[in-house]
Amino acid sequence: MNEQETTADSNNSSAAVAEDPGADSNSAVSVFRRTIKTYVLRAGRMTDSEKRSYEELHQVWCLPFEHKTLNFTEIFGNTNPVTFEIGFGMGHATAAIARANPEMNYIGSEVHVPGVGRLLSEIKKNQLKNLFIIEYDALEILKSMIPDGSIEAFHIFFPDPWPKKKHHKRRLVQRPHTDLLMQKLTPGGYIYFATDWQEYAEEALSELEATDGLKNRYEGFAPHQEWRPRTKFEQKGIDAGRNIFELYFEKEE
């Protein structure tokens, strides 16, 4: 999520997208000859508080990107289920969800430095022990660091819709990326996606339905999950007259 001027312009989803989104699902974790990003690194001014949090807490709550598989038990000190959020923006909902569910573990990926600083300050303020950050490209994290069958849930809230047709290949929720997400999910785990861009929602629905191993928990779009907090950013989209579309797909057991 990204609390910027409009939801249509939003995206700090830290993911890279393959040049050929229609590639065969077996190539989901292959090394592609060229990749393009689904996000744009926008300049953003950090507040003094965000700067302090970033400088003081980065080494504590941010995991470095490495070509090394993560051991969640060592990181969190328990065997609780892990949720991975792709592109948490300013992190308000991320912190709220982690605070409300201490029995769950959370990893958030983000490339927007002010957002990382803001979430770090929320982690400190709320004394959260179940939330870590990786400041890097999410799909690279998934390919290099996340074991297959280890993630209980993926949260993808308001990624960049890339509304121009020539940019659709930059969208995150499409194959083969959905194949990769399915590969990393535990049996029964879920992908929860929300957007205020109807055309993207319809395409994402089609792409998820075409992903082997996933099933829609609902008929078509999902109702709003009450445990997901609405942010100021999301409210701006609603105030502008845009509808919110949500999808909830589960990995077959």
CA distances 148 to 25, 29, 144, 151, Å, are 15, 11, 11, 8
Burial classification of residue 15, based on how many CB atoms lie within 10 Å of its CB (0-12 exposed, 13-18 middle, 19 or more buried): buried
85 annotated as a binding-site residue = yes
233 annotated as a binding-site residue = yes
24 catalytic residue (yes or no): no
Q: Look at residue 224 and give its three-state secondary structure.
A: coil
164 annotated as a binding-site residue = yes
209 annotated as a binding-site residue = no
Spatial CA neighbour of 211 closest among 184, 249, 238: 249
Q: Point out the catalytic residue in the list 24, 48, 148, 160.
A: 160
DSSP class of residue 64 equals: P
**Structure tokens of 225?**
């999950």
110 annotated as a binding-site residue = yes
DSSP class of residue 62 equals: B
Spatial CA neighbour of 32 closest among 128, 111, 146, 143: 143
Residue 21 CA to residue 179 CA, distance in Å, equals 11
Q: Partners of 62 in the beta sheet?
A: 133
Annotated binding site: 85, 110, 137, 160, 164, 196, 231-234
Known binding positions for S-adenosyl-L-methionine: 85, 110, 137, 160
Output the known binding site for substrate. Answer: 164, 196, 231-234
Q: Active-site positions?
A: 160
